[in-house]
Amino acid sequence: MIKLLIHLSLGILLLLGFNSCENNAQQTPVIKKEPKQLEQKSMESTYKIYAPKIAADINFCNEKTPIEQPVIYEKLDREFLVNMYWQSQTFLFIKRAHKWFPIIEPILKKNNIPDDFKYLAVIESGLMNVVSPSGAKGFWQFMPKTAKGLNLEVNDFVDERYELKLATEAACSYLNDAYKKFNNWTLAAASYNMGKAGLDRRLSEQEVSSYYDLLLNQETGRYVYRILAVKEILSSPEKYGFNFDEEDLYFIPKHEVVKVDSSITDLVQFSKSLGINYSDLKTLNPWLRGKSLPNEQHKMYSIMIVSKEQ
């Protein structure tokens, strides 16, 4: 009798254990699936990508862009998408613009160049002193011959393509000449990329008078559209999803200007004599290309140095 009770008890325990395992096995997939479902729902509710809405009155220098034409709209839309969703690059444009536009804007205004041309400098160089594969340099990307023709000094010791104020003055000179030739700022901008003679030849060959009617190489064909996209995004960054505080932006450090009209044999020692380091001297004056500054003609140079009081 006792043995029978023991066997019955063991059977009941085994049956209960089996049912428990079976229940656990049935419930396990539900537990595993639930977090994935919640994660997917969260992704759908928080991560969204939007198509840019391009204003019907978009223009360059008050010259209307005909986006009612499907081909024109598609070309412009491409540049909006590229610049909206290459966020790291566009954020750098925004930050650098805060630093450099205050220098560029008054020079454009003084030379009667529309303010929109500051965005040309953005697409040319990203507002950096870059060097192109063909040898164009600086914010405004001048080739050596063009720079010298616009009265910029270019040699082993001084390269004024890297001096933003002087280079902007040179760009203004070019653009005013281009406008006189084409009587149109959009064409003047396009000529900055492919040259006045080259653009004039394309207009004549294709018997049109508008940039938007031209068949051009890919670089010049995208050029004005890139300017337009950058202009719109940098003019209203929050509208296109870029959010930041004032302290996030870049600025030029407080500085003083030293006038020099004689040779400097050693820029390292010159820096030390001013209480700054060589790195700061070169950073604020990228137009100084060597370790010395020969100046037999006693030309007056303006050298920026970091102010001791920041």
Q: Are 102 and 92 in contact, with CB atoms under 8 Å apart? A: no
Q: Are 99 and 252 in contact, with CB atoms under 8 Å apart? A: yes
Say yes or no to pLDDT of 93 above 80. yes
User: For the residues of 205-240, what is the DSSP string, one character each?
Assistant: HHT---GGG----HHHHHHHHHHHHHHHHHHSGGGG
pLDDT given at position 290: 95
Q: What average pLDDT does the segment 103-122 reach?
A: 98
Q: What average pLDDT does the segment 241-268 reach?
A: 96
What global pTM score does this model have?
Answer: 0.85
Name the average pLDDT for the chain. Answer: 90
pLDDT given at position 47: 77
How far apart CA 240 and CA 3 sit, in angstroms, is: 82
Q: What average pLDDT does the segment 199-212 reach?
A: 98
Buried b (16+ CB within 10 A) or exposed e, 134-158: eebbbbbbbeeebbeebebbbeebb
Say yes or no to pLDDT of 20 above 50. no
pLDDT given at position 24: 46
pLDDT band at 72 (very low <50, low <70, confident <90, very high): very high
pLDDT given at position 38: 52
| Residues, the chain | 310
Which tens digit of pLDDT belongs to each residue from 39-61? Answer: 555 656 677 899 999 999 999 99
Which tens digit of pLDDT belongs to each residue from 116-153? Answer: 999 999 999 999 999 999 999 999 999 999 999 999 99
Residue 49 in 3-state DSSP? coil
Say yes or no to pLDDT of 89 above 60. yes
pLDDT given at position 2: 46
Give the H or E element holding residue 60: strand 59-60
Which CATH number does 59-248 carry?
1.10.530.10
